[in-house]
Amino acid sequence: MGQITLNQITKSFGEVQVIPPLDLQIEDGEFVVFVGPSGCGKSTLLRLIAGLEDVTTGEILIDGNEATRVPPAKRGLAMVFQSYALYPHMSVRKNIAFPLRMAGIDKETQKAKVEAAAKVLNLTDYLERKPGQLSGGQRQRVAIGRAIVREPAAFLFDEPLSNLDAALRVNMRLEISELHNSLETTMIYVTHDQVEAMTMADKIVVLRAGVIEQVGTPLELYHTPRNTFVAGFIGSPKMNFLTGAFAEEYGTDTIGIRPEHLDVSQSEGKWSGVVSVSEHLGSDTFLHVDVNGLPDPVTVRATGEFGVRHGDTVHLTPDTSKIHRFDKQGLRIA
Amino acid sequence: MARKITTRRKTLNTLFAWGIGLLIFFPILWTILTSFKTEAQAIADPPVFLFFDWTLENYAIVQERSDYMRFLWNSVILAGGSTVIGIAIGVPAAWSMAFVPSKRTKDILMWMLSTKMLPAVGVLYPIYLLFIKLGLLDTRLGLTIVLMLINLPIIIWMLYTYFKEIPGEILEAARMDGAGLKEEILYILTPMAIPGIASTLLLNIILAWNEAFWTLNLTAAKAAPLTAFIASYSSPEGLFYAKLSAASTMAIAPILILGWFSQKQLVRGLTFGAVK
């Protein structure tokens, strides 16, 4: 079981309140991702759940039990750190066995569990090595192994993939998702990478300055972002925001349109502009178009190859049904 | 790309380094050589270097005239005792400063360091008076305390530097893995800090062993360590270079041997953190 409830929790460091009163409900078995720009308090929130930081006020319930003042060792949660945080003086075997040793589990069971975990994580050949002799991806697996052997109520991941190179990151992302599917244990995952959030999460929590901006499934956030912050943060390339006359036409102050919801043509369209940069990825072409009357270039995503260069004139037409409207405060207008 | 160094240049550099090394070591070598000479050869002009009648008589006389073992034993107790007590106080102090720093941690560290800038003689008078009042003059206990206190800033600084290098996340990982404070210290922190603790220990034994100012000023006979043993040969009976050299050699031999065998540990410890 791994149901976690945060009731009106706050966190202050000295005079600075980094988390204003916050409520959040995490259901058993859910994969929840905390996402937001750096300094938004997502890691702090995770550390509060872990017990590595004390909440200033409010309460934390784990499976309905008061856990606010319970030390981290007793919360039954496992954590995977960004730096892996392996014990450098212990072999991989001892690293993975450490939580079992702390729990006072007998040697035979320890051995069996460590070997089972090593097998799942492809670490069997490395059990006698020290962490220093492993690659980044292998270290990350050891850290995950150390977390899974103790069968925690929930896994906490603190930006676990940010030290890996791009290819490995995609692999590990899949592995963690598979792990979640097979274990069906609650996972809370912190990242600043919205792609990780979109691909892995059952539920995304978007944070800004310690405040939850929106909670929802990846597609809810994509289709109906609550405000301009969420709209700009979720989706890649990010949403274009148009103001002034462009927005007035739709009866509001700001409109948002995603790059993939703009039709681009070399002959005709609603708005015309000049290509400043074109990025050809093969599968897609990203165009950055300077449109007359707009301070920032508009990003457009064209499927496949689209043969334009810097300086060419293109015409853009938005898909009207996909336009997001926002009011003066940046809140979504239904 | 590795920098190219010509063989000639390499040879020159090596010779130069050896030259400097020998220059620094020469007085010690000379002392050791002189200790095997007769008094006449010791003051011979021109001085004899290696070709003289090697003799052990100085050692015999020195041993006969003063109880070397007693001084040695005092040195061991003072150096060992002050270091062990210093480490016992320094480890928790450095721990709290490294892992639970407060606003004033830096100031406290600087303040401790500043005490090392104070000339020792400046506090000799008050400490001497305190020792008389407390009956600590010429006692091992008193000297152990003083030696421990004068080296404590260095112990704490060194340990603090080592502990700072241990990533906090590893300790947090241990906490998440179910380790209490005791297990965290026993299984994670101490094994990781052992190179640092060991080199601090060694360096402080050497510092305490060689400390002469306080040992000379606060002892008479009972608690006098080897530094006082050397000093006792320096003048009162006229200058007997060979015997003085023999006494010096006997006094520095233990620490020289300790230093030689632990040099790898010392260098590793002192450069720990400089190159990760």
Interval A183-208: pLDDT, tens = 999 999 999 999 999 999 999 999 99
Give the phi and the psi of residue B175 in degrees, each rounded to 5. -60, -40
Dig out the tokens for B62 from the structure.
């020195």
Q: What is the pLDDT of residue B164?
A: 87
* Minimal C-alpha gap between A207 and chain B (Å): 23
- A87–B174 CB contact, under 8 Å: yes
Q: State whether residue A78 sits within 8 Å of chain B by CB.
A: yes
Distance CA B59, CA B57 (A): 5
Cα B166 from chain centroid? 26
* Cβ atoms within 10 Å of A240's Cβ, excluding its own: 25
> With contact defined as beta carbons under 8 Å apart, do A159 and A191 qualify?
yes
Domains in chain A: ranges and CATH? 4-231 (3.40.50.300), 238-333 (2.40.50.140)
Residue B167 is classified by DSSP as -
| Sheet arrangement for strand A298-303 | A262-265, A313-318, A271-280, A284-291, A298-303
Radius of gyration of chain A (CA): 23
* pLDDT tens digits for range B174-200: 999 998 888 888 898 888 888 888 888
Q: Across all residues in chain A, what is the average pLDDT?
A: 92
* Minimal C-alpha gap between A327 and chain B (Å): 43
pLDDT band at B237 (very low <50, low <70, confident <90, very high): low
Nearest CB to B179: which of A51, A102, A156?
A102
- A102–B191 CB contact, under 8 Å: no
Nearest CB to B178: which of A73, A83, A156?
A73
Calculate what percentage of chain B has a pLDDT beyond 90.
19
* pLDDT tens digits for range A39-71: 899 999 999 999 999 999 999 999 989 999 999
Cis peptide preceding A295, ω within 30 of 0: no
* pLDDT tens digits for range A216-235: 999 999 999 999 999 999 98
* pLDDT tens digits for range B195-223: 888 888 888 998 888 888 888 888 877 77
Domain with CATH 1.10.3720.10 in chain B: 66-232
Nearest CB to A102: which of B178, B191, B192?
B178
Pick from B176, B168, B175, B170: nearest CA to A78: B176
Res. B272: pLDDT tops 60: no
- B167–A85 CB contact, under 8 Å: yes
* Minimal C-alpha gap between A228 and chain B (Å): 35
Residue A17: what residue type? Q
Q: What is the pLDDT of residue B238?
A: 61
Who's near A103: CB < 8 A, 6+ residues apart? Answer: A150, B178
Give the phi and the psi of residue B16 in degrees, each rounded to 5. -60, -45
A22 forms beta bridges with: A9
* pLDDT tens digits for range B28-79: 888 888 888 887 777 777 777 777 778 888 888 878 777 788 888 888 999 9
Q: Angle CA(A145)–CA(A150)–CA(A154) in degrees, nearest 5?
A: 90
Q: What residues of A are in contact with residue B169 (Cβ under 8 Å)?
A: 81-83, 85
| Sheet arrangement for strand A65-66 | A16-26, A4-13, A57-62, A65-66
Q: What residues of B are in contact with residue A51 (Cβ under 8 Å)?
A: 175
Q: What residues of B are in contact with residue A89 (Cβ under 8 Å)?
A: 191-192
Nearest CB to B192: which of A74, A89, A156?
A89
- A78–B175 CB contact, under 8 Å: no
Q: What is the pLDDT of residue B269?
A: 64
A303 forms beta bridges with: A284
DSSP per-residue letters across B23-64: HHHHHHHHHHHHTTS-HHHHT-SSPP-S-S----HHHHHHHH
Q: What residues of A are in contact with residue B170 (Cβ under 8 Å)?
A: 85-88
CA A104 to each of CA A98, A100, A101, A110: distance values in angstroms, whole numbers, following the listed order: 10, 6, 5, 9
What is the CATH architecture assignment of B66-232?
Orthogonal Bundle (1.10)
Radius of gyration of chain B (CA): 23
Distance CA B48, CA B177 (A): 69
Q: What residues of B are in contact with residue A73 (Cβ under 8 Å)?
A: 175-180
Question: Which bin fits A59, alpha (ψ -120 to 50), beta or left (φ > 0)?
Answer: beta
Residue B207: what residue type? L
Q: Give ipTM to 2 decimals.
A: 0.84
Q: State whether residue A13 sits within 8 Å of chain B by CB.
A: no
* Minimal C-alpha gap between B82 and chain A (Å): 30
B90 or B242, greater pLDDT: B90
Between positions 175 and 204 of A, the ones with CB within 8 A of B are: none
Distance CA A134, CA B11 (A): 39
Res. B236: pLDDT tops 90: no
Chain A interface test: which of B165, B170, B177 (most A C-beta within 10 Å): B177
> With contact defined as beta carbons under 8 Å apart, do A200 and A173 qualify?
yes
> With contact defined as beta carbons under 8 Å apart, do B241 and B42 qualify?
yes
> With contact defined as beta carbons under 8 Å apart, do A160 and A145 qualify?
no
Q: State whether residue A73 sits within 8 Å of chain B by CB.
A: yes
Nearest CB to A85: which of B173, B179, B191?
B173
What is the distance between the terminal CA atoms of chain B, rounded to a whole angstrom? 21
B226 or A97, greater pLDDT: A97
Task: Write the burial class of residue B146 (CB in 10 Å: 0-12 exposed, 13-18 middle, 19+ buried).
Answer: buried
What sign results for the dihedral spanned by CA atoms B207, B212, B217, B222?
Answer: positive
- B178–A103 CB contact, under 8 Å: yes
Chain B interface test: which of A87, A148, A162 (most B C-beta within 10 Å): A87
Res. A73: pLDDT tops 90: no
pLDDT band at A212 (very low <50, low <70, confident <90, very high): very high
Number of Cβ pairs < 8 A linking chain A and chain B: 61
Q: Across all residues in chain B, what is the average pLDDT?
A: 84
Q: What is the pLDDT of residue B273?
A: 46
